[in-house]
Amino acid sequence: MPNTDVTRLAEKQRRDRPALDALLDAERVCHVALVVDGHPLVVPTAYARDGDRLLLHGSTGSGWMRAAAGGAELAVAVTALDAIVVARSAFESSMHYRSAVVFGVAHRVEGGGQARALDLVTEALIPRRSAEVRASTRRELAATLVLALPLERWSLKVSDGWPEDEPADVAGDAWAGVVPLRRTVGEPLPAPDLRDGVAVPASVQALRA
């Protein structure tokens, strides 16, 4: 069983569940690591948090999804980069980040729970979008695997401090500080085949609010 204790810079570890939930709810992409046919693999994919579990989805033809559904051990990483820490030396320069890794074995979500789970993944990407589009067809549902990974074994590391420069560097003339990073949403671009008169929906407008 993987050790969830942070060993390098252990003071940066956070053990409070609300901090984990806040990170998982704020981001949209995770990286899933597992071993498939004896080879390590890392796959970026969309996800959603549903209470005490992470929801993952993909094609039934996906090798890694089939391996995960078959009981492969997973390590799922989610990271937010919040700022650049500009130190007076390259050695001390770093980042503000929040980084979580969730370990475990996922189980398949089937029946009525599958459609709900897919709606949650859609809502995590574009809130309130599910109500604006048609329901998934039986064919689409049959072609999609949905997995749920329990939020039981996890590790969260947060770095949010100032530069920690050597006294000799502090006495020098190099600038030091923190540069916050912000994610922005651009102007929506209509698809080339969009019919005239179809307005930008409320869910997309809300992304820019």
Classify residue 1: in a domain, yes or no: no
Classify residue 187: in a domain, yes or no: no
CATH number at residue 110: 2.30.110.10
Classify residue 188: in a domain, yes or no: no
Classify residue 170: in a domain, yes or no: no
Alpha-carbon separation of residue 31 from 23, 77, 183 (angstroms): 14, 5, 19
Whether residue 2 has pLDDT greater than 80? no
Structure confidence by residue, pLDDT tens digits, 93-128? 999 999 999 999 999 999 889 999 999 999 999 999
Q: What is the mean pLDDT of the chain?
A: 95
Tally the domains of the chain.
Answer: 1
Residue 51: give the domain boundaries: 10-162+197-207
The pLDDT value recorded for residue 15 is 92
Classify residue 157: in a domain, yes or no: yes
- Both tokens of 185, joined, read 């949403």
